[in-house]
């Protein structure tokens, strides 16, 4: 196997070491490949294919934006519950591409279905149709409004199919995760495994995302694969719950894109018994593992936020409601003033006060307790008697910062994740298309 080192190189970051990545195992029934379709001009892999020959149960959560990509539109019209192939391209969002973008997907799907059918059919002429157009879904990420490069993608279908491999070791997963990146500086992958009786269920996932990240999905893609035999309806339920406080609990810049999706595919190779429902202990165990995996990937997205130097946790506790806790958390997390203060390692807790007030949620300022890490900075409606500027400045030098707001008016808690704003964020987005 040849590895394209250009997948790992980014002129704004150092190459990641293989040892930094989690060990992922094979997902039985899944084949993957990635190649360069020359969508970028540097030869890096930019086109990926995930193929489940026998088909997979499928569910997804998509962006809530009112403008969506042609890929998302296509997926909504496809066979939603049973999928055989997912093709992912980077560099081009296939959004605001009009009739050309939509028709391109149809052409690509027909060519891909035919190529896969010929590969798998005993009749090499492909008379027996093993893969249909409706079995294929798409994901795209990149620049909005540019002509979709259908010719380059179509020309790449045969070599992409030829490179499909059933073995997915760490190197393969890293390679594939790298192929879906845009402004990311490193691939993002995660793995969980649970025991059900004497059987092991594997869950593997990859993600991309670095900027234009906000709740209700963001400019990010995540693809999760499991060998468990779990129905699409249950997958939809557990995925939606897992996303709610993981991928929908992150923000880089409070911008939301047009292409965002988290999708899960179950190859059905590990039988766990019929008539399972969302309250079944086995499904709950799977859901907990799925949430853990999603949180891992979501936090990796924030760590790799465009220009980010600091990982920030905003924790709201003892709120009167979950909605109120979320509103306050994101009001703080999305504040450029808070994010730049953290970038400058300035313990300016007044900006947190501002963020709480900006949320519009009713609070009792005399009950508020604000902490940076283990340090109380404000309580009883004023600066804390324990406040120590020197200790706070030392704490702000850490790579990971926790800001906790105790409202003391209820029992609900919410935690969200963000990063600082640095000048690098401006540089990256000022030159995004170059």
User: Based on the domain organization, do 176 and 81 belong to the same domain?
Assistant: yes
- Residue 37 counted as domain residue: yes
User: Based on the domain organization, do 298 and 316 belong to the same domain?
Assistant: no
Higher pLDDT, 264 or 9: 264
What are the beta bridge partners of residue 368? none
Burial of 216 (0-12, 13-18, 19+ CB in 10 A): middle
Is-catalytic flag, 219? yes
pLDDT at 19: 57
- Residue 10 counted as domain residue: no
Domain boundary among 303, 324, 342: 303
User: Based on the domain organization, do 297 and 320 belong to the same domain?
Assistant: no
In whole angstroms, give the CA distance from residue 156 to residue 38.
9
- 413's enclosing H/E stretch is strand 412-419
- 153's enclosing H/E stretch is helix 150-155
Domain boundary among 269, 303, 337: 303
User: Based on the domain organization, do 356 and 211 belong to the same domain?
Assistant: no
pLDDT of residue 295 exceeding 70: yes
In whole angstroms, give the CA distance from residue 300 to residue 411.
29
Straight-line distance from the first to the last Cα atom of the chain, in angstroms, rounded to the nearest whole number: 31
Q: What is the pLDDT of residues 383-427, one digit of tens each?
A: 999 999 999 999 999 999 999 999 999 999 999 999 888 777 677
User: Based on the domain organization, do 269 and 376 belong to the same domain?
Assistant: no
Q: Poorest-confidence range of 63-77, 133-147, 317-331?
A: 63-77
pLDDT at 253: 67
Contact 319, 413 (CB under 8 A): yes
pLDDT at 125: 55
User: Based on the domain organization, do 269 and 347 belong to the same domain?
Assistant: no
CATH number at residue 98: 3.60.70.12
User: Based on the domain organization, do 91 and 222 belong to the same domain?
Assistant: yes
In whole angstroms, give the CA distance from residue 152 to residue 36.
10
Could you tell me the residue range of the domain that residue 173 belongs to?
A: 20-303
User: Based on the domain organization, do 235 and 118 belong to the same domain?
Assistant: yes
What are the beta bridge partners of residue 146? none
Nearest Cα to Cα of residue 381 among 402, 396, 394, 364: 364
Q: How many domains does the chain have?
A: 2
- Residue 125 counted as domain residue: yes
DSSP state for residue 13 in the 8-state scheme: B
> Which one of 185, 219, 258, 418 is the catalytic residue?
219
User: Based on the domain organization, do 387 and 413 belong to the same domain?
Assistant: yes
- Residue 83 counted as domain residue: yes
Burial of 381 (0-12, 13-18, 19+ CB in 10 A): exposed
Residue 132 corresponds to which tokens in the numbers above?
């249909």
Q: What is the pLDDT of residues 342-358, one digit of tens each?
A: 999 999 999 999 999 99
- 155's enclosing H/E stretch is helix 150-155
- Residue 7 counted as domain residue: no
Domain boundary among 257, 283, 303: 303
pLDDT of residue 380 exceeding 60: yes
pLDDT of residue 213 exceeding 60: no
Neighbours of 245 (CB within 10 A): 17
By percentage, how much of the chain surpasses pLDDT 70? 88
CATH number at residue 371: 3.10.20.340
- Residue 413 counted as domain residue: yes
User: Based on the domain organization, do 165 and 249 belong to the same domain?
Assistant: yes
User: Based on the domain organization, do 272 and 333 belong to the same domain?
Assistant: no
pLDDT of residue 217 exceeding 60: no
- Residue 331 counted as domain residue: yes
- 371's enclosing H/E stretch is strand 369-372
- Residue 359 counted as domain residue: yes
Averaged pLDDT of the chain: 88
What's the whole-model pTM score? 0.88
User: Based on the domain organization, do 386 and 262 belong to the same domain?
Assistant: no
């Amino acid at each position: 196997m040849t590895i394209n080192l250009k997948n790992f190189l980014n002129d704004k970051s150092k190459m990641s070491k293989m040892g930094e990545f989690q060990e992922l195992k094979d997902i039985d029934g899944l084949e993957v490949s990635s190649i360069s379709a020359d969508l970028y001009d540097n030869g890096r892999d930019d086109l990926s294919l995930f193929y489940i020959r026998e088909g997979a149960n499928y569910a997804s959560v998509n962006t809530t934006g009112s403008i969506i990509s042609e890929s998302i539109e296509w997926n909504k019209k496809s066979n939603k519950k049973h999928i055989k192939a997912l093709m992912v391209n980077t560099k081009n969002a296939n959004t605001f591409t009009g009739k050309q973008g939509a028709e391109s997907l149809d052409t690509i799907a027909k060519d891909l279905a035919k190529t896969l059918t010929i590969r798998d059919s005993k009749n090499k002429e492909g008379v027996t149709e093993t893969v249909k157009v409706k079995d294929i879904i798409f994901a795209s990420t990149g620049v909005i409004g540019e002509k979709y490069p259908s010719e380059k993608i179509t020309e790449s279908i045969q070599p992409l199919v030829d490179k499909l491999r059933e073995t997915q070791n760490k190197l393969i997963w890293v390679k594939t995760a790298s192929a879906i990146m845009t402004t990311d500086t490193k691939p993002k992958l995660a793995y969980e495994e649970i025991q059900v009786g004497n059987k092991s269920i594997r869950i593997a996932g990859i993600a991309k995302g670095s900027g234009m990240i906000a709740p209700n999905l963001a400019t990010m893609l995540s693809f999760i694969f499991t060998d468990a035999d779990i129905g699409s309806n249950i997958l939809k339920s557990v995925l939606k719950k897992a996303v709610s406080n993981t991928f929908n609990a992150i923000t880089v810049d409070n911008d939301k894109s047009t292409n965002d999706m988290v999708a899960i595919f179950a190859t059905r190779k590990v039988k766990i018994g019929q008539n399972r429902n969302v309250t079944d202990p086995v499904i709950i165990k799977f859901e907990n593992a799925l949430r853990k995996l999603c949180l891992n990937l979501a936090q990796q997205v924030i760590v790799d936020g465009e220009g980010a130097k600091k990982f920030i946790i905003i924790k709201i506790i003892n709120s009167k409601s979950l909605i109120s806790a979320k509103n306050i958390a994101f009001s703080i997390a999305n504040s450029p003033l808070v994010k730049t203060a953290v970038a400058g390692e300035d313990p300016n807790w007044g900006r947190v006060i501002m963020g709480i007030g900006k949320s519009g949620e009713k609070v009792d300022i005399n009950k508020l307790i604000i902490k940076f890490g283990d340090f109380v900075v404000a309580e009883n409606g004023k600066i804390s008697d324990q406040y120590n500027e020197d200790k706070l400045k030392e704490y702000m030098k850490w790579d990971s910062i926790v800001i906790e707001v105790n409202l003391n008016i209820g029992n609900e808690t919410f935690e969200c994740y963000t990063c600082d704003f640095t000048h690098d964020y401006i540089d990256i987005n000022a030159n995004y298309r170059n």
